Structure 1
Amino acid sequence: MSIVIDIHALQTVPPSLINRDDTGAPKSAIFGGVPRQRVSSQSWKRAIRRYFEENFDAQQIGDRSKRLPEKIAQRLIDAGVEQDEAIKRVEDLFKAAGIKTAIEKPKKNDDSEEKPSPYPRTGYLLFLSQQQIDRAVEELLARDGEKPSKAEAKAILDTDHSVDMAMFGRMVADDAAYNVDASVQVAHAIGIHGSTPDFDYFTAVDDLAEEGEETGAGMIGTVQMMSSTMYRYATINFDGLRKNLDSVDTARLAAEHFIEAFVSSMPTGKINTFANQTLPELVYVAVRDTRPISLVNAFEVPVEAKQGASRRKVASDRLAQEARDVESVYGFKPLAAYVMGIGETADSFAELAEKTTLQELTQNINEVLERVVGDQ
């Protein structure tokens, strides 16, 4: 029996630019033949990782960087190892692990006084947990210059995964043996109705212009923005999470924290400009022993407000009906289901889920997992 936790949310975002493409425009997608606002899964996963780091144990969150060899070397130097020796030990570790590193070479015709870093870097973003970094430092200090074997290097860099690595996975291009299969899938958030970008024309005033008897703006510009009610979806493969973390208790806590982070996080793109600090108006969570089920098709036909009912109430009715249809047609009834909502949105799920609050929701999920999984 495979246990999965599906998390569905409806969230309205006012004029904002939380996720943009290479042209500076809000990301979008065609769904149901209609252009919609879109926020990429990468953007929201980054926000979830930051929420974890700021609100839970920071040691649960790993580092993803090309500069991890430098971080390890710097800690060796802080422990009293000479710089050249620290760099050599770090290079030996990554070479034994089969992960390529290189020291940045000076650029041709570069007349700047800034010198390239003397520390090696990986050729791509490498994901390591804080425990793996700590162990690398401890082992390299204890070995006192002795080169590690491949097996020893793998033991250092491929055990004690961080929670975010266990959830979102790790890919190491040089050696697939270091890969970690993601136990959490996060969908791109997508508008439940048609929408197109608008332009904000703005000016900035020079505060000292009047002293020089000048008029007009100090600068002029435009920024694109978009506003939508979006459907958000993520699913947790609890068995995969437990395997990656090698602990049922840690996996239960991680699942509980992920749900809170999914609900409470917000990507920070242009947030100082637009202050789009909203929370979901509806969250529906289903614990299943079948397979993950997205309810996005509830919004293939764009949602419009009806007389006497807001867009978000119509959307919650649509989402609840999709959930009923799935249960009726396929028989995929959840082991447990919970809903939390603003105003009347949660009423749509009266026969489908137990009404709850965020604090109660995470506690309930933990209790359900303890009941259906136990100490396996």
Structure 2
Amino acid sequence: MLLKNNLRIEYHILQSFPVSCLNRDDVGAPKTAIIGGVNRARVSSQAWKRQVRMAMQELGIRLGMRTKKIFEILHPILISEGANEEQAQLCADKIANLLGNDTLIFISESEARAFIDYAKKLNFNSDDFKDKELAKVAKKALTPSIDALDIALFGRMVAKATDMNVEAAASFSHAISTHKVSNEVEFFTALDDLSTTQGSAHMGSLEFNSATYYRYISLDLGQLAQSFGDIEDTAEQIKLAIEAFTKALFIALPSARQATQSAASPWEFAKVLVRTGQRIQVPFETAIKSNNEGFLSPSIQSLKDYISLKEKLSGSLFGKLGDYEWGEDETFSIDDLIKILQSHVE
């Protein structure tokens, strides 16, 4: 199956959260950014990306491992496959060094198995290892559709073994509030159950805010097909990836302070486009003003108006193949959205 490299699904999501601190900075305060000259609430792309990845795992998708502990993964398997202690140490260390001992790296179960088979083929003699060959062994073994969808979605860069590099099919913007936000401070006290005197045993303060966030995520279907490689059921695998990715986007929430603030608000509105051409993110450069009914309603209208204007201005370069809105029609569920997105893959 052939898909154009610039055929993508673009998710424009609005999501409102009351008292929350979705993503903390180095002093524990909610992250912010200055946009259009005013302060906005912000959630970094990494904070939401990891939760999307974990959500896919909860949905039953087999993922790769993102870790620095390559040595610890390979060493016991090498021993079990017949290497002695010295051989296992040298082989595992050589492979770990290739991938970068001090760097978080994505590696799939298939690739780990391929490394072991390569070492076994060379009688566990690490002196015979060649970096280029190791990288090619891993790239050949990579099977995103089976056990490493996250590597295909989020990409991988290995500085010492560029043959293992994988271009990310998904891109995430930082989520921003559509309106001006000022962080607030919660003062709290805690009591000691065993205290015999009045008064609190502990006092503290935490910053929080509330906001309607705009999230932009792009999924490049052509790149996803390229990363999957030459497999018989590419179309079906891409459809499964669309389902898993969309559901994960829907349910994933940043993990900060969930025990104390339970920021569990779902999507409020989403405009999802299937198109070719240049990616288009809505900047919300002019902060939304409340219409005495909150920020959501004017944010939805502003989102629609911006994309409509850019479509007219872009002409044939806009390349729209599908335009779907979720959240206002109660008969159009997330399952319906997924099915219609999957219909663009043949």
1:303 and 2:307 correspond: no
Tell me the distance in 2 between the aligned counterparts of 1:9 and 1:67. 36
Q: CA deviation at 1:126?
A: 1.8
1:271 and 2:263 correspond: no
Tell me the distance in 2 between the aligned counterparts of 1:251 and 1:199. 45
- Are 1:338 and 1:356, in contact at CA under 8 Å, matched by a contact in 2? no
Q: Which residue of 1 aligns with 2:226?
A: 243
- Are 2:158 and 2:165, in contact at CA under 8 Å, matched by a contact in 1? yes
Q: Which residue of 2 aligns with 1:152?
A: 133
Q: Which residue of 2 aligns with 1:255?
A: 242
- Are 2:238 and 2:345, in contact at CA under 8 Å, matched by a contact in 1? no
Paired AA for residue 108 in structure 2: S
- Are 2:16 and 2:268, in contact at CA under 8 Å, matched by a contact in 1? yes
Q: Which residue of 1 aligns with 2:270?
A: 283
TM-score by length of 2: 0.88
**Count of paired positions:** 329
Paired AA for residue 226 in structure 2: K
SS in 2 for 1:38: strand
Tell me the distance in 2 between the aligned counterparts of 1:156 and 1:26. 44
Q: Which residue of 2 aligns with 1:116?
A: none
1:327 and 2:311 correspond: yes
1:313 to 294, 297, 304: 297
Compute the RMSD of aligned alpha carbons: 2.2
Tell me the distance in 1 between the aligned counterparts of 2:107 and 2:304. 40
SS in 2 for 1:231: strand
1:199 and 2:191 correspond: no
Q: Which residue of 1 aligns with 2:16?
A: 12
Using a 3 Å threshold, how does the CA distance of structure 1 residues 148 and 194 change in structure 2: closer, same or farther? same
Q: CA deviation at 1:311?
A: 2.2
Q: CA deviation at 1:38?
A: 0.2
1:124 and 2:128 correspond: no
SS in 2 for 1:10: strand
2:208 to 221, 225, 236: 225
Which aligned segments of 4 or more residues in structure 1 are displaced greater than 6 angstroms?
A: none
Identity of aligned residues (%): 29
CA deviations over 1:53-88 (Å, ceiling 9, x no partner)? 11122x2x1112111121111333455654433222
CA deviations over 1:101-129 (Å, ceiling 9, x no partner)? xxxxxxxxxxxxxxxxxxxxx02112212
Unaligned runs of 5+ in 1: 101-121, 348-354, 371-376
- Are 1:27 and 1:39, in contact at CA under 8 Å, matched by a contact in 2? yes
Paired AA for residue 90 in structure 2: K
Using a 3 Å threshold, how does the CA distance of structure 1 residues 340 and 80 change in structure 2: closer, same or farther? same
Q: CA deviation at 1:138?
A: 4.0
CA deviations over 1:10-52 (Å, ceiling 9, x no partner)? 0011211121111211110011111000000011111111111
- Are 1:17 and 1:224, in contact at CA under 8 Å, matched by a contact in 2? yes
Q: Which residue of 2 aligns with 1:118?
A: none
1:292 to 279, 299, 322: 279
Tell me the distance in 1 between the aligned counterparts of 2:84 and 2:41. 53
TM-score by length of 1: 0.81
Q: Which residue of 2 aligns with 1:188?
A: 174
Q: Which residue of 2 aligns with 1:362?
A: 338
Tell me the distance in 2 between the aligned counterparts of 1:362 and 1:234. 15
Q: CA deviation at 1:336?
A: 0.9
Tell me the distance in 2 between the aligned counterparts of 1:63 and 1:125. 9
